[in-house]
Amino acid sequence: MKYRTERDSMGEMQVPADRYWAAQTQRSLQNFQIGDEIMPREITQAFGMLKKAAAVANFQLGKLDESKMHTIVHACDEVISGRLNDHFPLVVWQTGSGTQSNMNANEVIANRGNEIAGTTMLHPNDDVNMSQSSNDTFPTAMHIAAVLQIEDKLLPVIDTFIKTLKTLEKNHEGVVKSGRTHLQDATPISFSQEISGWRNMIEKARDMLKLSLPGLKELALGGTAVGTGLNAPKEFGVEVARAVSQVTGKTFTTAENKFHALTAKDELVFAHGALKALAANLMKISNDIRWLASGPRCGLGEILIPENEPGSSIMPGKVNPTQCESLTMVAVQVMANDTAVGIAASQGNFQLNVYMPVCIYNFLQSVRLLADGMKSFNENCLSGIKADREKMKQNLHNSLMLVTALNPYIGYDNAAKTVKKAHAEGISLKEACVSLGYLTEERFDEVFKPEEMV
């Protein structure tokens, strides 16, 4: 491998000749050989966006000349497109401020820009990082990446998931089945009502997620090192937020209090709480579905789910609810990530949070897993669910909790005696009720209508 010599304030470093990064990135690459977790590509893209926006803002404010601005914008567009991903090698487990990833972006954009210009015109600190600090760029990149992934990747999948549930709900209107509480038989419910509960759980989680977006759309840029905005024009925060909005197509604003924006990560905690709520609801729905599909002969067997692949290496013909298992594992990971995000956000020492890379790594993984997991589940399981109407009817009429309908006619205590007799003797509720003398056969038939109990 061929190397070239790059310099920073600490001296010379040998850098691979075919890479655009420079001395500070190389130092980080050598000093933090920890794990395989590369800084998320969503953060790489967000850095391209914010550096582009910063160049535009600096030009508009008279800080950066036009030729440098255009050159930075050109290089940033390549970063945004993903063309330069191989030039962003740093791991998550680096400085807690993300300084080295900020410098990675500065160095790559400067060196690529100089190559585009055919001359050395850009300096990574003086030009690409103009009016900025790692302390305000990294939290800005976090917010940009979080908003883009939630709005462009996760919310569309959630909407499709809800649409599928609405279709299932409509297709199963009028299908009455046994309800269950505490894993025990309960009073009847229609299958469409059960599905409506699932649907509303996802709708509520979606609404909570949307509620978190305004906080994420506030940007720290303009605060520079400690929130005072040292070395940045007074109007920089407003101008760069406007430029970020133009680059992303989203409406971002400058954070009102930069001291808060640099040291606190509560907006990410709040948003991840909504992701955790979504994960909790998906866990519940997935478990309901695999319980209802259990069998095929010795379980509940009230619904049929798509058979996607063989389920056993030893038991021929066995098919398992694998999509349910996959989605519940996603939910477990998201719940675990919530702990990491919360603890990381609590580590704001004085004017800076120093756990930002691990915070956004877990946050973005949660968004990615939820979006991919829900898409897979929707396509390979949820959209293909069908009710086994005969099994539902059989279980419904075999449920002893239908006796609840008799409470107004024979009283709670007598209804309880009816259930106990029917269960002990293996007879129907009607037989038990009539033999105990609580109702005649004719009267029982008049008041006992399970399908009307929903």
Fold of 136-172+188-390: Fumarase C; Chain A, domain 2 (1.20.200)
0.85 surpassed by pTM = yes
pLDDT of residue 285: 98
Distance between CA 156 and CA 362 in Å, rounded?
A: 21
pLDDT band, residue 26 (cuts 50/70/90): very high
Query: Quick one: CA dihedral 133, 273, 324, 164, positive or negative?
Result: negative
Q: How far is CA 335 from CA 115, 283, 343, in A?
A: 45, 10, 13
Least confident of 16-30, 97-111, 228-242, 440-454: 440-454
Q: Return the beta strands (E) in 224-292 as ranges.
A: 253-254
Query: pLDDT tens digits for 380-412?
Result: 999 999 999 999 999 999 999 999 999 999 999
Q: 139: closest CA among 223, 248, 210?
A: 223
Query: pLDDT tens digits for 50-59?
Result: 999 999 999 9
Question: CATH 1.10.40.30 in the chain, residues?
Answer: 399-452
- Phi first, then psi, for residue 298 (nearest 5°) are -110, 10
Question: CATH 1.10.275.10 in the chain, residues?
Answer: 15-130
Please identify which of the residues 28, 67, 101, 182 carries the catalytic annotation.
182
Neighbouring C-beta atoms of residue 447, cutoff 10 Å: 12
Distance between CA 26 and CA 3 in Å, rounded?
A: 12
pLDDT band, residue 348 (cuts 50/70/90): confident
- Phi first, then psi, for residue 183 (nearest 5°) are 65, 20
Query: pLDDT tens digits for 110-168?
Result: 999 999 999 999 999 999 999 999 999 999 999 999 999 999 999 999 999 999 999 99
Query: pLDDT tens digits for 433-446?
Result: 999 999 999 999 99
pLDDT of residue 234: 95
H/E run at residue 178:
strand 176-181
Indicate the CATH number for domain 399-452: 1.10.40.30
Is 134:224 a contact under the CB 8 Å cutoff? no
pLDDT of residue 441: 96
pLDDT of residue 399: 94
| Helix%, strand%, coil% for the chain, nearest 5 | 65, 10, 30
Both tokens of residue 16?
A: 């691979």
Torsion from C-alpha of 260, 266, 270, 276, nearest 10 degrees: 160
Burial letters for 152-175: b for 16+ Cβ neighbours within 10 Å, e otherwise? Answer: ebbbebbebbbebbeebbeebeeb
Question: CATH 1.20.200.10 in the chain, residues?
Answer: 136-172+188-390
Least confident of 72-81, 227-236, 306-315, 357-366: 306-315
Please identify which of the residues 312, 346, 423, 435 carries the catalytic annotation.
312
Is 367:154 a contact under the CB 8 Å cutoff? yes
Both tokens of residue 252?
A: 């971002």
* Catalytic residue flag (residue 260): no
Burial letters for 57-77: b for 16+ Cβ neighbours within 10 Å, e otherwise? Answer: bbbbbebbeeebbbbbbebbe
* Catalytic residue flag (residue 182): yes
Burial letters for 15-27: b for 16+ Cβ neighbours within 10 Å, e otherwise? Answer: beeebbbbbbbbb
Is 236:221 a contact under the CB 8 Å cutoff? yes
**Residue ranges of the alpha helices (H) in 120-190?**
134-149, 155-171
Residue 408 CB contacts under 8 Å (≥ 6 apart), including other chains:
none
pLDDT band, residue 80 (cuts 50/70/90): very high
For 273-283, what is the mean pLDDT?
A: 98
Indicate the CATH number for domain 15-130: 1.10.275.10
